[in-house]
Structure 1
Amino acid sequence: MTQPELDITAAEFPQPETMQDLIHVLRRFGVNIAYWGEGEAKSEDQLLREIQEGESVFRETTAGELMRDVQGVGVDVFYYDPETGSVYRLREDRQVFKDGRTRSRSHIPESLSEKRKPAETPLEAAERAVREELQIEGELNFRHLGQRLHTRPSVSYPGLNTRHNVDIFGTMISPQQYRSEGYTENRDGLTSYFVWEQFSQDSQKAV
């Protein structure tokens, strides 16, 4: 997909500070929020929190469209089983909202995805993602695997195009950090479930 050009920087485009500001901007650009907070969609409260914390930034394209800009990281988490010689890769299976709604995360290409915070380096964001989402302690080593830039309609916020600039990392966890049953994370009204799948029987094919 062709990347829409951006003609207004974040500093020049006033970022919403209140819910009233956010609704005003969304209406100005014709973004329909009638179905936000339903199905797989997040709520306007969650978007406002992202903007206030600097994880999402509004920009305007040369075509006059509103764009949500996200700087993020993707982390593939691997585990090598010394007994079988198999390598396992963690994947995010699903998210469950506090009201019981469930959305699949099978489309996420890496094990973890996380938005970067202001002034945070990609490596710092990758380590924070693993420690916060998986509650893993101890030493972690990361390998930078590349970068991905894509623009697409947001699943979380329907009607709002989002540009993702993602740094991709890989890490191999130790036996002490490994949980065969997987991991769960509770945050912002969402419970995320992570499960293991066999990746290969050759550790050299992983990180």
Structure 2
Amino acid sequence: MGDEFTLIQKIIIWTLPVLFAITVHEVAHGWAALKLGDKTAQMMGRLTLNPIKHIDPLGTILVPGLLLMFTGFMFGWAKPVPVTFQNLRNPKRDMAWVALAGPGANLVMGFFWAMIAKIGLLLAVNDVLISGPMIYMGVAGVLVNGMLMLLNLLPLPPLDGGRVLVSILPPHLAWRVEKIEPYGFFILLALLYFGIVMMILWPMMQAYMGLLAFIFDMPMQVFFIL
């Protein structure tokens, strides 16, 4: 984000899109699990859009705050919704659908925020006071949901893509992938540190933004204003 924005303005622009992105992502996991036979998230009161129920001190507060202060970009994660896979009607198959529900929710929210940005662009001619925040917040929503969706689709446990991989692999390979999960977060940090994740995700992120720009008839450059 440009230096012309104060820290308070950055917080106003990014907070709502980030909270919605991570909250709806987790609720989608719980909702999919409920539909497929597991009531754990429902019984623990996690099928709610109240972000307080999903706050993770590290992923929802500390990491986004530090990123915003030092990079101008806010990103984070919520406390995972509990899913008891043994309760699913077909645990191995249904695990993939539960995992995909989170990124799927981010995809839908990306379209929603792109529509907000488009409306802001249409209003920009007559009402800059309203259109500006709509454009900036819409773009922030597109960026956050796109990154959260694509990052979670990486085939690395405990990310959603890792759970999908375990679900589709034969048992003798699936258990080997599952053994990576305790180290998955540290592997992800290393991949992020060395820039490997962005090398993988950035082309897909560009394709995602290009698709939204095409659907909503917007210039691609609008997604780079932050």
Instruction: Flag whether TM exceeds 0.5 (same fold).
Output: no
Q: Which has the higher contact order (CA 8 A, sep 6+)?
A: 1
**When the two structures are superposed, what TM-score results if normalisation uses the length of structure 1?**
0.23
Going by fraction, where is strand more abundant, 1 or 2? 1
Going by fraction, where is helix more abundant, 1 or 2? 2
